[in-house]
Amino acid sequence: MPLDPDAPTTGRQSTPPQGSSGNIGMPTSDGVSAPPWTGTGSSPAAYEGEQDARVPRLDAGQHATGSAGVSPVPRVVTKSSATAPGGPAAVALTGMTLHELQVWAVDRGLPRYRAAQLHRGTFRRLAKSFAELTELPGPLRDELAAQASLTQLVVENEVQDAPSRTTKTLFRMDDGALVESVLMGYQDAGGHRRHTVCLSSQVGCPLGCTFCATGLMGWARNLTAAEMVEQVLYFARRLREHGQHVTNIVYMGMGEPFLNYDAVWQSVRILTDESGFGLGSRHITLSTSGVVPAMLRFAEERSQVGLAVSLHAPDDDLRSMLVPLNRRYPLADLIPACHQYVAATHRRISFEYTMLDEVNDYVDQAVALARLLHGLICHVNLIPWNHVEDLPYRPSPPEVIGAFRDTLERYSIPTTIRDTRGSRITAACGQLRTITERRHAARETDPRRGH
Ligand code: SF4
């Protein structure tokens, strides 16, 4: 349908003049973004030309050779400094494909079928210790336990919201780093239960989106493939106790997955391995804030893994303020990359749009968004913002979100409003870690204080 703006009659009609008092953090009248953060955590400087040297760089020249399905990954980082049970520098078997496990086993003088037993035990039977692998001889189990690990994650904190069937877990890695994952339960129209794991790909995040709790933390390191896989295995074990299983995975937790591409893709390979965990590629979605070279690389993988793009604004000025990465990869680069992904995969792309009161929720912004996405096979997810302490935003009122959706749909853009499930349990990315760390700090200051 041609974009023919019918005059909408509901919702916030048009963006107010820049700098008007009703807006939080809107671009200033000289066109320069006025970020609302107060100087803590990461800043967009990490993407202003000279990127933080610790942050993995991704250049177009790094593109892998694409092929149908999942492309080979040359080398896998599987070493871990796990302290238990395998001791220092234990090898994390959860970061290996079956083939890599076979190479590892043969290198240690074990027959290949032992690798298959280990693989099945880890990813099918979901063993979390070698003691559970009873088909292996006892001495071999002891030997493996001294060299390798099946679990590196320790639960540091967990909160549940029974009505929304949501569990949020804070994991401590073996180096003390904390990351969050969420398990969300649904019942689809056919009455089938679905269980989606939202996992983290980095400790913190370097991108500093100005509405995000994780963005306030800055970036510490990338997660390994094993650390990502184990977030899923943890929930898979929990679900199995109730005869259920993980049906979907989204990489939408802490971090930008496309700044940790190789490890993320390795974790996808492991989780989709039919001889192991066996989740279908179409049940996995990678989310990006728009790391364009990695999006093009991902398109070349031509896999059935889904792509979600965190957009949050229909124009460069506002998007650069909300998502500082936009200064490096503006919409003029991002949108063509989206077209390229759709052309290569024939898959619909999802756009995430967090609704911020009087910032990006005006009807004329919905019209601009519809124009921007015209011609793309896509879907827009409107996300009511979860309040984050220390950030100067407010969630858009429900009727404003409804009017925004109606406007997009008038322009034939399929749009849904995301369930605000789990808002009672600090569901916004990064909040559980922040709250837990503050409690720890308070207890150190005053040891009489408990949880
Ligand atoms: S929204 Fe995502 S990309 Fe942006 S700072 Fe938060 S975790 Fe990073």
Q: What is the pLDDT of residues 414-451, one digit of tens each?
A: 999 987 665 556 555 666 666 676 666 665 555 443 33
Whether residue 24 is predicted with pLDDT greater than 60 in this model: the reply is no
Mean pLDDT across the chain = 81
Concerning whether 378 is annotated as a catalytic residue, the answer is no
Percentage above 90 pLDDT, the chain: 66
Cα–Cα nearest to 227, from 194, 260, 205, 196:
260
- Residue in 198, 212, 338, 429 annotated catalytic: 429
CA 113 to ligand 1 centroid distance, Å:
42
- pLDDT-derived band at 60 (thresholds 50, 70, 90) equals very low
CA 355 to ligand 1 centroid distance, Å:
15
- Residue in 100, 180, 301, 358 annotated catalytic: 180
**pLDDT confidence of residue 387:** 86
**Which of 40, 202, 207, 385 should be mutated for ligand 1, with most atoms under 8 A from CB?**
207
Judge if the beta carbon of residue 80 lies within 6 A of ligand 1. Answer: no
Ligand 1 atom nearest to 288, measured from its CA: 3
Q: What is the pTM of this model?
A: 0.81
Whether residue 79 is predicted with pLDDT greater than 80 in this model: the reply is no
CA 215 to ligand 1 centroid distance, Å:
5
CATH of domain 152-445: 3.20.20.70
- pLDDT-derived band at 54 (thresholds 50, 70, 90) equals very low
**pLDDT confidence of residue 57:** 41
Return residue ranges of the chain for CATH 1.10.150.530.
68-149
CATH of domain 68-149: 1.10.150.530
**pLDDT confidence of residue 424:** 58
Judge if the beta carbon of residue 259 lies within 6 A of ligand 1. Answer: no
Judge if the beta carbon of residue 198 lies within 6 A of ligand 1. Answer: no
**pLDDT confidence of residue 161:** 86
**pLDDT confidence of residue 66:** 29
Return residue ranges of the chain for CATH 3.20.20.70.
152-445
Average pLDDT over residues 375-388: 94
- Torsion 433-439-440-445 (CA) sign: positive
Judge if the beta carbon of residue 383 lies within 6 A of ligand 1. Answer: no
Judge if the beta carbon of residue 324 lies within 6 A of ligand 1. Answer: no
Write the pLDDT tens digit of every residue in 177-217.
Answer: 999 999 999 888 788 889 999 999 999 999 999 999 898 88
Average pLDDT over residues 248-269: 97
- pLDDT-derived band at 131 (thresholds 50, 70, 90) equals very high
Least confident residue range of 19-28, 62-71, 221-230: 62-71
Least confident residue range of 115-129, 181-195, 338-352, 374-388: 181-195
Judge if the beta carbon of residue 228 lies within 6 A of ligand 1. Answer: no
The answer to whether 1 touches 411, Cβ cutoff 8 Å, is: yes
**pLDDT confidence of residue 187:** 85
| CA 352 to chain centroid | 12
- pLDDT-derived band at 14 (thresholds 50, 70, 90) equals confident
Ligand 1 atom nearest to 323, measured from its CA: 4
Whether residue 62 is predicted with pLDDT greater than 90 in this model: the reply is no
Concerning whether 209 is annotated as a catalytic residue, the answer is no
**pLDDT confidence of residue 35:** 27
Judge if the beta carbon of residue 214 lies within 6 A of ligand 1. Answer: yes
Report long-range pairs for 23-28 (Cβ below 8 Å, ≥24 apart): 23/358, 23/359, 24/356, 24/357, 24/358, 24/359, 24/392, 24/393, 24/394, 25/210, 25/321, 25/322, 25/359, 25/392, 25/393, 26/318, 26/321, 26/359, 27/317, 27/318, 27/320, 27/321
**pLDDT confidence of residue 268:** 98
Average pLDDT over residues 292-315: 97
Judge if the beta carbon of residue 166 lies within 6 A of ligand 1. Answer: no
